[in-house]
Every structure is written in structure tokens, then in C-alpha cells.
Structure 1
């Protein structure tokens, strides 16, 4: 077996390992950091905050209206109770009563607005709860398929590691060191194939002699452009 063939087989295994690890990383990212669920929870939290504020505002409006009604009742009692006989005082009470009624109308309008706001907040809160439930349900369903894929990929990875160990043991240490150095320099691809007298990795053309050497030589032949080890059947 030529040196290039052994390294090419190792490269094939390493490339598959890289692909599996990339997919496993992507799955872990999805499982650990689902943006849809986070967004749905954030929406619910905001809806809960708005609901609490709306409830508080309504309680405040109700209390203000109730306090105003008490003042109104007290003024009416003073006006119509017969205890006040002085015309000026009676006129003052009538003016005060009219002002209290106007302010009560304003407070009741505000209370009605608070009630409508609360109703809207409750609807939005209910919608946010429903949305979160749906998103979490979808996420659980998606997770089931992703978890299954993750388990399959983990098994594949173990098999590939065993295959790599077996292939690795057949290659000389000096060649392995060269291979690993190239892997680091060339984004994981140290060995590439040749097609139509060109390097499949970078596309650089080869002379007929270089292409022939890559095909029949027992020694390593490197691409004159990218420096990767060339393998040709």
C-alpha cells in the first residue's frame, strides 16, 4: 500500500468524524439554546408584567372612584340634610357637589379605561400562555427526532474513532506528523484527490509528470499550489 493511500483512508475517516462532530455541535446548540422558546417565554413574561400593571391600575381607579362617591354622598347629606340654612353656604355646597360630580365622571371614565386595558391584558396573557404551550410542544416533538439523530451520530462517531485507530496504526509516525500538520494548516483537509490533472482541493493544474507521480509513486506527492498530499487511483 502506498503512503498516500494510507493517509487518504485516514483523511476519509477524519473528514467523516469532522462532519459528525459539526452536526452534533449544531444539535447541541438547538437543544440547549432554542430561540423560539426563549422568545415565547419573554413574551409571556412581558404579558404577565402588563397584566399585573393593569390590575394595579384598575384597583387604583376603583379606589379613587369609591373615595369620590363617599365625598359626594357626604356633600349631598350636608346639602339636603337641613342642617345648613345659610344661603351662601348652601350655594357653596351646590357648587362643591357639581364639582364632585364632574370629577367623579372623570374618574369613572378612567376606571372604564382601566377595565378595558385589563381585559386586553388578560387576552394577551392568555394568548402568550397558549403560544408558549404550542412552542414547547413543537420543541419537544423536534427534540425527539433530534435526540434520536444525536444518539445515532454518537454511535457512528464511536465506530469512526475505532476505524481511525485501526487506520492510524498502519501509518509511519513521521507521515502522521506531516499529515496532522497539514490538517491544521488546511482546515482539516491534508489529503486530496486528483481529477483531470488538477488538485481537487484548490483546483491548481498539475503537469503530466506530477499527475503520474501521484498515481504510481510510493512516495508522497504534494500539490505545487496548496501543498496538500495528492492521491490518485
Structure 2
């Protein structure tokens, strides 16, 4: 035959199940609202795209400089070999200018080759980042579906457990419920503990033999754990 305290213990069991389910639902909602895997992949793609844009801009600048340089080289060559200057000193100056331009041309060719490789590398990184984001989105969709299914099950569990709680809680006196609720607030949701081998089932403190006897023989009397202060009941 159920006693008031044993019934209250069952109420607590139901309420703990509901509390745990609600906490898990909160965690699920947080996961659904912010998928770090997708956010990370999006950030990596954005960075890769920025790197590619910078590499392309750098290459374009070098190519424009090369185009201008070639025009200058052609112009100086035309002056030198088109019989347009006769002065020996000017010819020497133009030859020095041409040598300098050709050295810059050679250096620019190396820079353009490096910049072209950088663009190719950045392009490959963008493609990889796009693939990573697509995979993250696919995994996120699968995970979201699993989480939504878990949330639905938890909501159903809460609904069922609330019905079970309602069926038995009406048999408990209001004063007892009020005391239980006040104690539950300060005992991490567990106002009542089951006695296990003469010890509190929550804090593990062994109880005096006289108290254990009272707990067993007077099941509706509120007897408290000497350690944590929870109400103790016999199994």
C-alpha cells in the first residue's frame, strides 16, 4: 500500500524526468539555432574568397605594370634602333634605361609567375571550402532532423509524465506538497532520498540505527537525513 511519502517520491521521480527532458530540449534548441560546424565552414569559405580576390588583384596589378613596362621598352627600342637619336650621350642614357627596364621586366615575369600560382592555389582553396560547406550543410540537415525527432519524443515524454503525475499528486495534502516544493528548490530538485543500506541514497551519509528504524516503521513521518537534510524514505 502506497504511503503519502512514497507517493510524493514518485511525484519527484516524474518531476525529475520532466526537468531533465526540458533541459535537453533547451540544449537541442540551442544546437538547432546555431550550428557551429556550418558557421565555421561559412567563415572559412569567406576567408578563402577574400584571399582569392586579393591574389587576383595583385596579379592584375602586376600584369598592368608589365603592359606599361612593355610599352616603355618598345618606345626606347624604337628610339635606339629607329635612327631617331644621334647624340652619343643620349644613346648611352637610353641604353641604360633599356637595361633597367629589361631587368624590371625579368623580375616582373617571376612575380607574375608566383602570383599566378597563388591565384591557382587560392582558387583550389575556395573550391575545397565550398565542398566543405556543402558537406557541413548536409550533415547539419541530418543532425537537425535527428535533433527534431529527439525533441518530439521528449515533448511526448513530458506530456505523458505530466499525466502520470497528475493522477497521483491529488492524493497528497497541500501542506505536504508546499513543504516538498520549498525543499526541492534548495536541494537541487531532490527533496526526498531513498534509504540505501542505512545510508542516504543521495549524499551517502549513514543514518543512526534509531532513525533507520523510524523511517521503516513510520513511513509517513518526515525524517530528515543528518547529512544533507533531505526527507528519507524506505525502499
Scaled by the length of structure 2, the TM-score of the pair is 0.94
SS of residue matched to 2:126: helix
Deviations 1:24-46 (A, max 9, x none): 12222222222222211111111
Alpha-carbon distance between aligned partners in 1 of 2:187 and 2:83, rounded to the nearest angstrom: 103
Deviations 1:124-179 (A, max 9, x none): 11111111111111111122211111111111111222222333322112111111
Partner residue in 2 for 1:231:
233
Show the 5 A alignment for 1:61-100: 61-100=62-101
Partner residue in 2 for 1:131:
132
Runs of 5+ unmatched residues, structure 1: none
Scaled by the length of structure 1, the TM-score of the pair is 0.95
Show the 5 A alignment for 1:123-162: 123-162=124-163
What is the alpha-carbon root mean square deviation over aligned residues? Answer: 1.4
Partner residue in 1 for 2:206:
205
Partner residue in 2 for 1:2:
3
**Aligned 8 A contact 1:41 1:132 in 2:** yes
Alpha-carbon distance between aligned partners in 2 of 1:139 and 1:16, rounded to the nearest angstrom: 28
